[in-house]
Structure 1
């Protein structure tokens, strides 16, 4: 029996194939899962110094909730990342003690960058203070007074941006966000997965 065959015509263009590969390799929910894990595993961000000359000190505990990732409709290499957080704050000024609950929304962007020889790097953009939205709720009398005058909202946003940037620039995350596509294909061939069974 002859194994000769005519030329195989492609049903997709090279550009369409590359787009499909990007979609398959970097799914938004996978990026969201990694960011969520990093934020949930690092829940201590205190003590926070607030006010001129460090007048106030706050102990803070953070709970990271599920991050969501939205792909850009016109650019497959761009994603919006939204990270909701909840903070419990204990603010001290001498003998005075204020308790606050802060609900936080952090927004950042992700860009996919091709790298040699055949890899994709997921690059998180730095988080600015203006990318952090904070709403506070007083949990005791002094906390309600502080919340009413908006004394800590902008200061918290800056502290949270700094903390988030520190977490999202960790070596472990940078390593996890480099996808070695060539290495994955080589391992699939070596393990026989290309044929659906181990050789």
Structure 2
């Protein structure tokens, strides 16, 4: 009942496809305004069988980031992955619950590029890579706790069996 495909579908429902964030004030005195357009790609799930049923999940994403410093705007392209861990457990009456561990910034991998030397200097001095990882981890942690996420993490086995029986 808990297949890699079913877990991937539940996570795709939680993550969505695309969203925008900002503008958000960042840096000393909120001088910089940051806007991001985030595209969430299809999750990749690998099931691990052992004493418990666990899943290694990788969610690829693409981000278009704009940092507006008032005197100029720098654009960054970010490719990244969110690494999540999940465990399936039985619940009453016939439910399976997928518990997803909240990610830490170290669970987020990003590759940030800019088309200008000024952008690369800003990226290094401003610690943009670290801030992106921290922000994504915090955002995903909020999503894991959201009511929609809580619903998507529950698989009704009785309903799945009933619908398979009706189709068969």
Q: Report the TM-score when normalising by structure 2.
A: 0.85
User: Unaligned 5+ residue runs, structure 1?
Assistant: 1-24
Name the count of aligned residue pairs.
168
* Cα-Cα RMSD: 2.4
In 1, are the aligned partners of 2:76 and 2:113 still within 8 Å (CA)?
Answer: yes
- Residue 73 of structure 1: how far off its partner (Å): 4.2
User: Unaligned 5+ residue runs, structure 2?
Assistant: none
Alignment of 1:3-152 (within 5 A): 25-75=1-51, 77-149=53-125, 151-152=127-128
Larger radius of gyration: 1
Q: Match for residue 20 of structure 1?
A: none
Return the structure number with greater strand share: 2
In 1, are the aligned partners of 2:55 and 2:85 still within 8 Å (CA)?
Answer: yes
In 1, are the aligned partners of 2:102 and 2:140 still within 8 Å (CA)?
Answer: no
In 2, are the aligned partners of 1:105 and 1:133 still within 8 Å (CA)?
Answer: yes
In 2, are the aligned partners of 1:86 and 1:104 still within 8 Å (CA)?
Answer: yes
Q: Match for residue 17 of structure 1?
A: none
Q: Match for residue 170 of structure 1?
A: 146
Q: Report the TM-score when normalising by structure 1.
A: 0.73
Question: 149-158 or 45-54, which moves further after superposition?
Answer: 45-54
